Structure 1
Amino acid sequence: MGEVLGPLREGTPRQIGPYEVLARLGAGGMGEVFLARDTRDGRGGEDGPDTPTAPEDGVFVAVKTVRRDVAGDPAFRDRFRREIRVAQLVSSPHAAAPVGGDADAEVPWLATAYVPGPSLSQAVRRGGALPVATVRALGTGVARALGDLHAAGVLHRDLKPGNVMLSVDGPRLIDFGIARSSTATTMTATGLMVGTPAFMSPEHVAGARRVTAASDVFCLGSLLCYAATGEDPFGDGPLAAVLYRVSQAEADLDRVPEELREVVAACLALDPADRPTPERLAELLEADAGRRFPWPEGVRDHIGEYGTELAQLVASGGPLLEVVPAAGPVVTPDVPGLHSVPTQAPVAPPAPSPRGRRGRVLAAVLALAVVAGGLGTYLLWPESEAKKPPVKAAPPAAPPAAPRIAGVDERGLADASGVVPQNAVQRPAGWRPWKAKLSKPAHGCSAGEKVLVCRTTDGRYEALDPASGKELWDAKVDSETPDESYMSDRAVYFVARDSTRPTVHDGNVVLVTGRKLQVRDARTGAVRWEKPALGPQFVWDTRPLVGDGVVFAATEVAEDIESDKVALTAFSLADGKELWTKGLTNAWISNAERRAYEPVAYAKGVVYALSQGGLVAYDGKTGTLLGEADPAARECMELKVLGGSGYCASSSRRPNAPVTLHALDARTLAAKASVPAPLAAVSPAAVGPNAVVTSGKAVSVLDPRTGRTLASYPLKAPPAGLAQAVSSPLLAGDQVVYADFSSLYTVRLGTDGKPAGLKVTPVPGAPGPRVAEEERVPGYGTLVSKQVRVPEVLPVGGIAYIVYDKGAVASVELPK
C-alpha cells in the first residue's frame, strides 16, 4: 500500500482496548502504530446509535503500542504512563486529539485521532518546498497548536516535520512521545538529548534540564524554514557540526522567501527571550486559511491518496491482512475493493447491516478522499488490468462532492488529460443561463469560478462575469505585430500582438502579450506583475501554465536573441520572482525543427515541456531534470498526464502517417508499457481512468484496459453548402461533453466507464452552421477571423460555458 497503509502481520492483535485494528501505519524504536476503529457505543461500533460520524469525530484512531520487551521495564511503563497523562492535557483543534490509553495493559497503548494525510516531511520530500501562502497558513496552525499546548502546561519538545500531519483543512500536531508537563522534571538524565538534531533548539543541545515554551518556537522556526525551502535549516554533514550550528543558532536563511525571512529569523533567535510567543507568531504570519486551506495541488492530491486508501479499506469490509503462502515470500492478497476500486466514482459499501454503521462511515471517508485530492490515486492503465478478475459492481451511491478546480481550457486542467472534476460549490452565486457576444471573434478561452477570459483575433483579451455574462474588463498591448491574426501560405500562424491563450488560475489570469508575461487580477484585470517572455511560436494554442504557486512560460535567452534559443522559466505566482530557467533548444533551429517549444502540462509537482530533443520533465520547484521522453516517443509534441502515467501520440510529418500512442512514466518519461490495440493507434482527446475519448468523424468512448470501443457517436453533418465544427471533448465529472454550432452533447458514463447514451441540449444563442467565408490578405495569408473554427466547451461547477469562433458565448447547465 506504499507509504499509506500496510498489512497486519501474523500475530498482530486484532483488538487493542476498545479499538478494532485495521492496518499498520508505521513503526518506531519503541513499538508500532496501527490504524484502528473505535467499537464502543456511540463511537462507530456496530451497536452504536444511529448517528452519522465523520472520520474526525474519532471513528478512526492511530494506536501507538509499545514493544513487549520494552514494556517489561517498569521505568518505561512509568514514562509511558506520564506520556498518556500529558496527552490527556492537550485540547486543540490544531493537534491530533488524544482519545485514550492504558499504560498497565499487557501491551501498553496510546490512541489519538487519526489524521488521514501525509506528514510535512513526506509532502516536502515528494513535492518540494511549499508556496509562501501555504507556509504562512501552516505556521499559523502549528503556532496556535503550540499556544494551546503551552496554555495547558505542556511542552512538545520534538516539533519536527515528521510530527506535523497534513489534513484537508490544515496541519495537525502529533506525537507527544517526549512531551512533558512544564511543571515536571526532565524525563532524561542530564546530557541525554531528546529530540531530532536538525530540529532542536540551542537549549536542547546544551542539555538544559528545563527547556521552555520558547524552545518549541525555535523548533517551529526551523520547521517553517524547511517547509519554505525543502531543506533542513542547519544543513547536513557530521552530527557534531549540525549540533554546533544549532547551538549557535546559525541557520542558513538565504533560500527562505523574503516575505518569510524576518519572521523565521525571529523564531530562530539565540536568546529565548527574543523569540515571539506562539500567539504573536500567529499574528506575524497573518494567515487565515478560510473555508479551504491553501494546500497546493500536489499536496492536496497527496492528502487525497490517504482518504482514498481509507475508503477502499472500509469498503473491503475487514482489516488489511498479509498472507503467508506455504512456501515463498509474504504477499498481500487482492482484497476486493482494496487494490482495484476506481477513485473517479464513489465506492459503495456492502448492503447495510441492521447492526452496522459502516455505510455512513464509508460515505464520510469517501467525501474526505474526494475533497482532499480530487480524483486522488487513479486506477492506472494499462497495468495488465485486463488480466485481473472483474470486480463485482457495487450498488449505486450518491456521489460525493468533487474538488474545486483552479481553471479550465480546451485541454482541461494543467495536466492536459481532459479530465475536469465538477463541484457544484463552484457555480457562481445567482447564476442563470445567459448568452453574450464578444466584440471580436474568439481565439482561445479559459474559465474558472471568478472569470471567463477569451483572447480575440486582434490580440486583445475580454473578460466576462461567469454568473451573468457581463463584461468585467478588456485589455490590449501595443505591439509591432499585425493587429489581426492570420495563417501564412506556409501554414505558419501569426497571432496579433504576440498574444497567447489566457490561463485562469483561481483569482488570477495569466497570459503573454506583447512579449510580456502578465499575471492579472481575475475580476478587475489589473496587472499584478509582468516579465519578459515569448509569445506564440508557430501555433496559436500556446499558453503559460500554472501549478502549485508557480507560473511556467517560454522565454527567450537574452544572449542568444538572434539564434532563437528558447528556455522554460519558472516564476513565483505571488510576486513574479524568477525561480529557475532551463534551455529547451540549442543555438540554431532549422525550419524543419520549428515547433512550439514551451510547457505542455503540469501535474503533481512536475512540469513537462517540449524541447528540441522531445518532451522533457522537470521538478516544478527546483528545475531539476527528471527525465526525457523515450526515444520511441521523440515525435510526441503534447502529453496527457493521468496518475502515474503520461500518454502522448506521435506520428511522422508525412501525410496520413500512422499514429502511435505511448504510455510513459509520469516522472521520468521512460517507456512504461504498451497500450492495448486498437488504442495504440489513436490520438486521444481525453484520457480518464475508466474511459478514453477520441474525436474525428465521430466521438468515441474506448475502454482503456482493452482498447475496445464502448460507444461511438457520429458527428451531425451540416446542411448542404454550410460548415460547422465540433469542440474537443472533455470528461466533465462523469460525462463526456462536447458541442457543435447548434447543441451541447453529453454522454453519461457509469462507474465502469460504460456509456449510458447521448443527450442533446440546444444552446441558446448558438450561431448554427454557416457559409464558410475565408478571406486572404495579399502579402499575409488567410485571416483567422474569417475561418470556421471549433467551439470551446469550458465546464466549471456543473455549468458549461460554450464559446463560438465568431464570438458568441452561452452558459448552460450540464444535464444532471
Structure 2
Amino acid sequence: MLGPLREGAPRRIGPYEVLARLGAGGMGEVFLARGAEDGPEGGPEARAGDGPEARAGDGAGARAGDGARPGPEDGPAGRSVGGGTFVAVKTVRRDVVGDPAFRDRFRREIRVASLVDSLYAAAPVGGDADSEVPWLATAYVPGPSLSQAVRRGGPLPVAAVRALGADVARALADLHGAGVLHRDLKPGNVMLSVDGPRLIDFGIARSSTATTMTATGLMVGTPSFMSPEHVAGARRVTAASDVFCLGSLLCYAATGEDPFGDGPLAAVLYRVSQAEADLSRVPEELRPAVAACLAVDPADRPTPARLVELLAAEPAKVFPWPEGVRDHIGEYGRELAQLVASGGPLLEAAPVDPRGPVVTPEVPGLHSVPTLAPVAAPAPPAEPPRRKRGRRALAALLALAAVAGGVGAYLLWPEGTEQPPAKAAPPAGPRVPGVDDRGTADASGVVPQNAAQRPAGWKPWRAKLRAPAFGCSAGEKVLVCRTTDGRYEALDPASGKKLWDAEVDSESPTDSYMSDRVVYFVARDSTRPTVHDGSVVLVTGRRLQARDARTGVVRWEKPALGPQYIWATRPLVADGIVFAATEVAEDVESERVALTAFSLADGRRLWTKALTNSAISNAERRAYEPVAYAKGIVYALSQGGLVAYDGKTGTLLGEADPDAKDCHEIKVLGDSGYCAGIGNHRYSQLTFHALDARTLAVKASVPAPLASVAPAAVGPNAVVAFDKGVKILDPRTGETLASYPVKAPPSGLAQEWSSPLLAGDQVVYADFSSLYTVRLGADGKPAGLKVTPVPGAPGPRVAEEARDPLYGTFVARQVRSPEVLPVGGIAYIVYDKGAVASVELPGEKE
C-alpha cells in the first residue's frame, strides 16, 4: 500500500512528479510518481509513454466493470487516472552511484529492458543511468503481489492458477523472444491486476558491490524459487530456468506452500538442485503441467508456449480471480483514486503542536485499513512411518552406545565425567567474560552465575535503543547491541545509560553470499558483537575491530570477513585470542575463507588455516567461521564439516566423522561436543551426535527425541530445548522431565520467545511480557515454572507488514525473539524493537 513521503524525499525524479512511497529494496527507495497527460518530456530513455506494456496498471476502478483481458488495442504503459501516467520509480542508493562500473551495468540493463514488448509484463518505461541519482521507471500496477494475495486469502482455485500460469508463460515467451531472461521469477515479482497478472522486475541492475544489508534491514530472495542451475552456481541461466521457477510459482499459488519445503537452507537448496519438489498437495488437474516445469534436466521442461497448452486455460473476458483477490485488488484501486482526488502528494502527518492544529495535505483514509495477519499455512504432510519408530530406535541406540562406548550414566549425551553428587545449593560459578544468545564461548548454553559479577550500584532499570536490536552481548562492564539501522549501541549494565554508539561505514566493500537471486542482508556488513571482559570485538566494513568496552574507542583493527550468509555471524574471543573468518590472502578472487587467530591485546596475527579449499556452489553457502571454544580448542565450520584446532598454535586436532558431516554447530561440555544434523531429504530425521571434544570422532548418534528440534542448552544434568514451549530432558535417557507450553498471545497480537539458557541452576527464557525460570535440583529434576513480569516489557503487539511486494522481508519490522543475557544473577532482556530491561534472577526461595 502507499506510504507517505518522508522528510527529505525527492518531489521530482526525472520527468516525474513524486506522489507517495511504495517501499525500499536492495537498490534504494521506490516511489509512486506521475507523468504529464501527454507523456513526460525528455529523451528516449525517459519517456514513460513509449513503453510496450498495455494496461499494466489496471486495477479496481479502471475498467473493473468489464474486466477485459489485455489486447492489442490497449493503451500506453503505466496507469492513467485523472490526467497523467502513473509509474513506479526506483532510485539507486547513493553509496553505489560513484562506481562507474555500476553505472555502466545499470545503463546496459535499461537498454536490455527496453527490448521487452509484452502485454503481460509491467515493463520498464524510462530511466537515466547518468543522473545524479540513477533511476528506473516501470508501469505501476495498483494491486497486491501474488505472495501478498496468497498469504492473505490462501491458495488460489484451479481456474485462477491455470489462467495465472498461462499469462505468466506468455510474458516469458515475449521476454525470451526479445532475448531477455527474467532470472528472478517468484511470487513477489508477479503483481495482480483486475484483468490478470503482470510480471515485474526483470533485468533490474544490481550492484556487484552492494552492501549486504540496507539501513532498514532488508532481506531479499526466496531459495524455493531458484532453479537447479542457480543452485549449481552456473554462470549462464537459460530460458528453461525461468520455466522451472514458474513451476515453483504455480505450486505456491495452488497450495500456499513453498514447493521445496522449509528447514535448514542448505537442505532446501539441495532439494532444489535435485528438483525434489513436493507436489502431493497440488490439485491433480494441475500436477502434470507443474511437474513438467520442475524437471531437473532443462531440456525436459516445456517451452512457455507449450506450457500455455498444458495448462489449458479457458479464454475468458473476465479474469477468474476469486472474490477475495478481487476485493484485495480493489483496495489498491481505491487508494490510488483517493490519492488522485487529494490533488497532491501523500505526506507524513506533522506532529501535533500544542499551540494549535497544523494542517498537512494528507489523504484521508489511506491508513485506515487494519494490518492483516498472514493466513495459516496448510497442515504439513503426515510424517513418514519411520519417524514413528523414533523412540524404539532411540532406545536401541542408547543401549548400543552404552555397551560399545562405555559411556556409563550418560547415554543420550555421553559426557565423560561423573554425575555430581546432590547438593543443597550450587556453589558460585566462575566468572564469565561475556554472554550472548548461545551462552559463553563453548556455545553449550550453560552460563555460570557468580554474584561477584553483579555491577556495583546495580538496581533494576529499563532503557530504549535508538533502533530495533539485531544481536547483543553482555558482560560485567557493558551491554552492546547491533541495531538494524547499521550501528552499535553500548549501555552501562549498572544503570542502562548509554555509554557509546558507533555508526559503521556503509560504503565498505561487502559480500553477496548467494547468486543475485538469493542474498541474505546483514546490517551494513556488520556482525553481532562479542563482549569479552573489558573488550568488545566485532566485524564491520570487512574490518575486525577490538574496542574498549566502556568508551568504544577502537584499540586495533585488521581485515576480516563480515557476515557470511546468516545473521548470527560473530567473532569468537577466549583465552586472550580473537578468532575470526578472513579471506585466504593469496587467493582473494576465489573467495576462499580462512580461520585466523589474533592476539586480543594488540591484534597480532597468530595463525591462519583455510576453511574452504575450492569454489563454493550456492548449495554449499553457509557461515564458515569459528563456532565454539573450550579447553584450549577452537571449533570451526569448514567446507568439509566441523574441525577442531589448538587455539594457540593452529594445529589441526580433529575433523568431524562422516556421520556428523551435516552438523554446522557444536556445544561443548566436558570431554564431549554435541551437535544436531539433518540430512538433505525432505523427511530426513534430525540426529543428535555426541563427539569426542578433541578429535570430533562420533561417540554415539541417536534420533532426536523432539521431532526436528535441536537442543538450546546442554548441561550435566539437563538438556533444554524449545518446541512449542520449553522442554527439559533427562540426559541419561532422553525422556522429557518437564514441559512448559507457551501461552498464545491474545487474538490479533503476536510475540516470540527467547532461546532458553541454563543460568546457574535454573532454566531462563523470556517472552514479550515476562521472564520465565525453572529451578533444577542437583539431579536435574525441575521444581516448577516461575513467572516474573518484566517492568517495561513491550507485551504482545500487532504485527507490522514486514514483507515488501517486490523485495522480500524488512527485518526491522519483523516480530523477532527477545534475547536473555544472564550475568552475575542479573538478566538483561533485549526486545526486538529496542526496549531493554534489567531484572534480578529469582532467588533460592520461591
Q: TM-score, normalised by structure 2?
A: 0.49
Q: Deviations over 1:150-202 (max 9, x none)?
A: xxxxxxxxxxxxxxxxxxxxxxxxxxxxxxxxxxxxxxxxxxxxxxxxxxxxx
Q: Quote how far apart the aligned CAs of 1:683 are.
A: 1.0
Give the corresponding residue for 2:599. 572
Q: Give the structure 1 partner of residue 215 of structure 2.
A: none
Equivalent position of 2:536 in the other structure: 509
The answer to whether 1:600 aligns with 2:647 is no
- CA displacement at 1:565 relative to structure 2: 0.5
Partner SS state of residue 561, structure 1: helix
Residue 625 and residue 772 in structure 1: after superposition, are their counterparts in 2 closer, same or farther (change >3 A)?
same
Residue 458 of structure 1: how far off its partner (Å): 1.8
Decide whether the 8 Å contact of 1:486 with 1:783 is kept in 2: no
CA drift of 1:481 comes to 6.5
Q: Which residue of 2 is the match for residue 439 of structure 1? A: 466
**Partners of 1:486 and 1:780 within 8 A in 2:** no
Between the aligned partners of 1:388 and 1:463, the Cα distance in structure 2 is 39
What displacement does 1:496 show? 2.2
| SS in structure 2 at match of 1:589 | coil
Equivalent residue in structure 1 for 2:839, among 809, 812, 816: 812
Counterpart secondary structure, 1:632: helix
- CA-CA distance at 1:486 after TM superposition: 13
Q: Does the alignment pair 1:410 with 2:437?
A: yes
| Structure 2 partner of 1:803 | 830
1:468 aligns with 2:491: no
- Report the Cα distance in structure 2 between the residues aligned to 1:489 and 1:739, rounded to whole angstroms: 37
The aligned amino acid for 1:809 is V
2-side partners of 1:482 and 1:808: how far apart?
A: 31
Give the 5 Å matches for 1:661-700.
Answer: 661-675=688-702, 678=705, 682-700=709-727
SS at match of 2:490: strand
1:590 equivalent among 588, 608, 617: 617
Q: Is the 8 A contact 2:513 2:564 kept in 1?
A: no
Identify the residue that residue 800 of structure 2 maps to in structure 1: 773
Contact 2:530/2:538 (<8 A) preserved: yes
1:382 and 2:405 correspond: no
Give 1:705's aligned residue: 732
Q: 1:729 to 1:578 in 2, by over 3 A?
A: same
Distance 1:386 1:635 in 2: 21
Matches within 5 A, 1:713-728: 713-728=740-755
Structure 2 counterpart of 1:513, one-letter code:
T
CA distance in 2, matches of 1:516, 1:387: 40
- Contact kept, 8 Å, 1:451 with 1:463, in 2: the verdict is yes
* Aligned residue among 684, 687, 696 for 1:657: 684
Give the TM-score, by structure 1 length.
0.51
The alignment partner of 1:494 has SS state of: coil
Contact 1:627 / 1:668 at 8 angstroms: preserved in 2?
yes
Match of 2:449 among 399, 422, 437: 422
Q: Which amino acid aligns with 2:411?
A: P
TM-superposed CA distance for 1:804, in Å, is 0.4
Distance (whole Å) between structure 2 residues aligned to residue 761 and residue 550 of structure 1:
38
1:487 Cα deviation (Å)?
12
CA contact (8 A) 1:518 1:530 kept: yes
In 1, the alpha carbon distance for the partners of 2:413 and 2:722 equals 26
Q: Tell me the CA shift for residue 776 of structure 1.
A: 3.9
Q: Tell me what 1:531 maps to.
A: 558
1:529 and 1:592, CA in 2 relative to 1: closer, same or farther beyond 3 A?
Answer: same
Confirm or deny: 8 A CA contact 2:461 2:496 kept in the other structure: yes
State the 1:478 CA deviation: 1.4
Structure 1 counterpart SS, 2:812 = helix
2:728 & 2:573 partners in 1: Cα distance? 29
Q: Residue by residue, what CA displacement relative to the aligned partner does 1:291-345 show, whole Å, maximum 9, x if unpaired?
A: xxxxxxxxxxxxxxxxxxxxxxxxxxxxxxxxxxxxxxxxxxxxxxxxxxxxxxx
The one-letter amino acid of 1:498's match is: D
Separation (CA, whole Å) in 2 of partners of 1:622 and 1:570: 9
Partner SS for 1:641: strand
| Deviation of 1:389 (Å) | 12
Change (3 A) 1:765 1:675: same
Q: Identify which of 595, 601, 620 aligns with 2:647.
A: 620
How far did 1:696 drift? 1.8
* 1:578 Cα offset (Å): 0.2
Contact 1:661/1:679 (8 A) holds in 2: no
Deviation at 1:558, TM superposition (A): 2.6
Cα distance, 1:674 vs structure 2: 3.6
Task: Say if 1:606 and 1:680 are closer, same or farther in 2 by CA, change over 3 A.
Answer: farther
Q: Does 1:518 align with 2:545?
A: yes
Equivalent in the alignment of 2:787 = 760
* C-alpha distance in structure 1 between counterparts of 2:461 and 2:408, whole Å: 38
**1:328 aligned partner:** none
Pairwise CA distance, 1:783: 1.3
Of residues 818, 822, 834, the one that matches 1:791 is: 818
Deviations for 1:257-289, whole angstroms, at most 9, x for unmatched residues?
xxxxxxxxxxxxxxxxxxxxxxxxxxxxxxxxx
- Secondary structure of 1:785's partner? helix
Contact 2:514-2:618 within 8 A present in 1 as well: no
CA contact (8 A) 1:442 1:806 kept: yes
SS at match of 1:440: coil
Contact 2:577 2:600 in 1 (8 A): yes
1:210-249 Cα deviation digits (max 9, x unpaired): xxxxxxxxxxxxxxxxxxxxxxxxxxxxxxxxxxxxxxxx
- Once residues 506 and 413 of structure 1 are traced to their aligned partners in structure 2, the CA distance between those partners, rounded to angstroms, is 12
Give matches, 1:186-205, under 5 Å: none
Q: Which has the higher contact order (CA 8 A, sep 6+)?
A: 2
Partner of 2:664: 637
Query: Bigger shift: 551-560 or 806-815?
Result: 551-560
Q: Secondary structure at the match of 2:452?
A: helix
SS in 1 for 2:675: strand
CA distance in 1 between partners of 2:414 and 2:592 (Å): 43
Aligned residue identity for 1:661: F
CA distance, structure 2, for counterparts of residue 429 and residue 379 of structure 1: 44
Shift of 1:519: 0.4
Matches of 1:763 and 1:589, distance apart in 2: 46
Alpha carbons 1:799, 1:813 under 8 Å: kept: yes
| Structure-1 residue corresponding to 2:331 | none
- Which amino acid letter does the alignment assign opposite residue 507 of structure 1? G
Decide whether the 8 Å contact of 1:676 with 1:707 is kept in 2: no
SS in 1 for 2:619: helix
1:550 maps to which residue? 577
Q: Tell me the secondary structure at the aligned position of residue 659 of structure 2.
A: helix
- d(CA) in 1 for partners of 2:537 and 2:417? 44
Q: Relative to 1, partners in 2 of residues 1:733 and 1:571: Cα closer, same or farther, differing over 3 Å? A: same
Question: Measured at CA, do residues 474 and 390 of structure 1 come closer, stay the same or move farther in structure 2, by a change above 3 Å?
Answer: closer
Tell me how far apart the structure 2 counterparts of residues 739 and 505 of structure 1 sit (CA, whole Å).
24
Cα deviation for residue 625 of structure 1 reads 0.6
1:777 Cα offset (Å): 4.7
Q: 1:736 to 1:547 in 2, by over 3 A?
A: same
Deviations 1:477-514 (A, max 9, x none): 2123799x999996642112210000000000000001
Aligned partners of 1:581, 1:486: CA distance in 2, in Å? Answer: 22
Out of 741, 756, 761, the residue aligned to residue 734 of structure 1 is 761
Q: Which moved more, 1:738-747 or 1:649-658?
A: 649-658
Determine helix, strand or coil for the equivalent of 1:493. Answer: coil
Q: Secondary structure at the match of 1:562?
A: helix
Partners in 1 of 2:603 and 2:472 — Cα distance?
23
Residue identity opposite 1:712 in structure 2 = S
Which letter does structure 1 place at the counterpart of 2:554?
V
Summarize the Cα distance change of 1:399–1:660 in structure 2 as closer, same or farther, 3 Å threshold.
closer
Matches within 5 A, 1:238-387: 381-382=410-411
Provide the secondary structure at the position in 1 that maps to 2:550: coil
Indicate the RMSD between aligned Cα atoms, in angstroms. 2.9
Q: Sequence identity, in percent?
A: 79
Unaligned runs of 5+ in 1: 1-377
Task: Choose the corresponding residue for 1:747, options 774, 790, 801.
Answer: 774
Question: Which residues in structure 2 correspond to 1:167-178 (within 5 Å)?
Answer: none
Aligned equivalents of 1:661, 1:416: Cα separation in 2:
16
Q: Is the 8 A contact 1:382 1:704 kept in 2?
A: yes
Counterpart amino acid of residue 410 in structure 2: W
